[in-house]
Amino acid sequence: MKVNGKKALVFGGTSGIGLATAKELASLGAEVTAVSRNPEKAGDVPEGVTLRQCDVRDREAMSQLFQECAPFDILVSAATGGDRAIGPFLQMDMDGYQTSFDKLWGYANVVRFGTEHMSENGTIVLVSGTPARRAKPGQVSLSSVGGAIEAFARTVAPEIAPRRLNVVSPGIIDTPMVALQGKEREELYAKNTATHSIPRAGTAEEVAQGILFMIQNDFVTGTTIDVDGGWLLS
């Protein structure tokens, strides 16, 4: 797919990986709509990017948004859907664990209500996470949700062909989701990536490059690529 002149919707597109992806697509000539619950987080919006407010968990609002934006060629979702539970499973608040799956429901809404408004050769990319296949202690919810997303993509991809559906799985990425600043932030990333083949946090832009590969390569569907600095090898 040549991105220039294509129309793209990026959910979770006002921060972190989603924002980096929206900027990359716009720089290549795509007409981009960045969608978020809180569009004001985007700050300075580059030329070619329009902001829209919508919660991926709201099926009626999502359906309306797709109708208003149709037709389009590219769908990307990096929206978390809400808070995610962290910690040992036997001590976990089960409401928090259940809420963690809002990310999956949001992705399901993107694919279910967005696909019918896409061009025949359109492409969808979802963002999972390395814990789906190699979880660290306390990441049961991240692993469960990520694994469900990757299975979802493999199952749905044949149904929506010739449109394509893929997943990008990031490792530890330096994004605004981590509230720590300064030395504390540096020490956290250094500790958590010390055993990785590339011992540093990745950038949102590096993950966006993986997403762009999935968008541009017409011979890839129903699969997951890792942008994780070697997490799976550690």
Q: Write down the pLDDT at residue 84.
A: 83
Report if residue 21 sits inside a domain.
yes
Whether residue 101 is predicted with pLDDT greater than 90 in this model: the reply is yes
Mean pLDDT value of segment 153-162? 98
Mean pLDDT value of segment 12-20? 93
Query: How would you classify residue 83: left for phi > 0, otherwise alpha for psi between -120 and 50, otherwise beta?
Result: beta
Report if residue 189 sits inside a domain.
yes
Instruction: Report the percent of the chain where pLDDT is more than 90.
Output: 85
- The total domain count for the chain is 1
Query: Regarding predicted confidence, which is higher, 40 or 142?
Result: 142
Q: Write down the pLDDT at residue 176.
A: 79
Q: Write down the pLDDT at residue 184.
A: 84
Closest CA to 37 of 101, 103, 127: 103
Report if residue 234 sits inside a domain.
no
Total-model pTM: 0.94
Report if residue 232 sits inside a domain.
no
Domain membership of residue 153 as a residue range: 7-227
Q: Write down the pLDDT at residue 178.
A: 75
Mean pLDDT value of segment 118-131? 96
Report if residue 25 sits inside a domain.
yes
Whether residue 128 is predicted with pLDDT greater than 80 in this model: the reply is yes
Whether residue 12 is predicted with pLDDT greater than 90 in this model: the reply is yes
Q: What is the CATH number for 223?
A: 3.40.50.720
Whether residue 11 is predicted with pLDDT greater than 80 in this model: the reply is yes
Report if residue 1 sits inside a domain.
no
